[in-house]
Structure 1
Amino acid sequence: MPDGATAIRKVGEIASYHAHVYFRPDIDKEAALSLREAVGARFPVRLGTVWDRPVGPHSRAMFQIAFPPAVFAGLVPWLMLNHGGLSILVHPNTTNPRRDHLSDAAWIGEPLPLSGEVLPEAQEADLAGPANTLPNVEP
């Protein structure tokens, strides 16, 4: 490998993905909850707790969408087209949460600051878990 080049990483490192949908409780919480409902109606995902305050590395109120790699190709483009001005962080889940959130993530809408120092550099990869939604609408 040439000097300064980094090793090629395998996509198989990715156990699952998270999308964090951010909102301001006094301004756009209703829009976020509508988006949450629309995602659940269309995709087999695991919808997380709605937090009305910053939690973990996140600087704004949010909820999480956990999903397996097989759902990425349908869900992420749908979020790109339907985020309604909300900021969404999409990141892989590997064994390095800090890198996942800070270096290997993609933003939909306005990027927001994250407190990366609270994220560990190593842990077991986070699996999406079973879907807690029952899609009944075409994406």
Structure 2
Amino acid sequence: MQLMSSEASSSTTSDLQSEYDNEIKEFHFHLYWFQNNAASQASAVKLRDRILELAKQGFFQVVPLKNGVNTSPRGPHPIGSYEVWCAREDFARCYSWFILNRGPHSVLIHPLTRDEVADHSSRAAWLGTPVPLDYSNLRPHLDHVPSQYPELGLGYNAPAPNN
């Protein structure tokens, strides 16, 4: 058995810290519906109300609807949609909930990093049928990670892990 030298150990610690620093810590879930279809919109609103209720009850700590309900195209989203922000601390529970409860709706799941284009395309995942997005207003390089809801102390605003 070979023991690690102190040089290798400090290199490994440095590498590990770099991995922690580069880890994705916040996500968006975008739920879509056909804004000109009353049944589709009603179903989406019912899901939104359930998300708000579950968050209030402490089932998960997500923040829905910062920008409200989009009843027309907004940003890259070409149809009715709303976003639910989720820190990595609640990602598994949020993802699981959407898998089981999204109904007929498509859901885009993407990370929040400094590359909005990649986040909404090559780094994104879909539940249901993908919706074509318009990337023309997204930026491929932000000056900072788009941390949201710092007051929660989650995601990019969570305390650093103890190494």
The TM tier, using the shorter chain, reads 0.7 to 0.9
Q: Give the match for residue 63 of structure 1.
A: 82
Residues 8-87 of structure 1 aligned to structure 2 (within 5 Å): 10=19, 12-27=22-37, 28-42=40-54, 43-48=60-65, 49-87=68-106
**Offset, 1:10:** 4.6
**Offset, 1:26:** 2.9
Between 99-108 and 20-29, the greater mean CA deviation after superposition:
20-29
**How many corresponding residue pairs?**
123
Between the aligned residues of both structures, percent identity stands at 30
Q: Deviations over 1:5-64 (max 9, x none)?
A: xxxx95743231001111112321110011111122223211121010010011111111
RMSD of the TM alignment (CA)? 1.8
Match of 1:111 among 122, 130, 136: 130
**Equivalents in 2 of 1:83, 1:61: separation in Å?**
15
Q: Deviations over 1:86-126 (max 9, x none)?
A: 01100000111110001101101110001112210011222
TM normalised by structure 2 equals 0.70
Structure possessing the higher radius of gyration over alpha carbons = 2
Q: Give the match for residue 127 of structure 1.
A: 147
Does the Cα contact within 8 Å between 1:13 and 1:94 map onto a contact in 2? no
**Equivalents in 2 of 1:79, 1:59: separation in Å?**
21
Deviation >6 Å, runs of 4+? none
Between 22-31 and 82-91, the greater mean CA deviation after superposition:
22-31
**Equivalents in 1 of 2:148, 2:105: separation in Å?**
22
Unaligned 5+ runs, structure 2: 1-17, 55-59, 153-163
Unaligned 5+ runs, structure 1: 1-8, 132-139
Match of 1:101 among 120, 126, 148: 120
Q: Which has the higher contact order (CA 8 A, sep 6+)?
A: 1
Does the Cα contact within 8 Å between 1:17 and 1:128 map onto a contact in 2? no
TM normalised by structure 1 equals 0.81
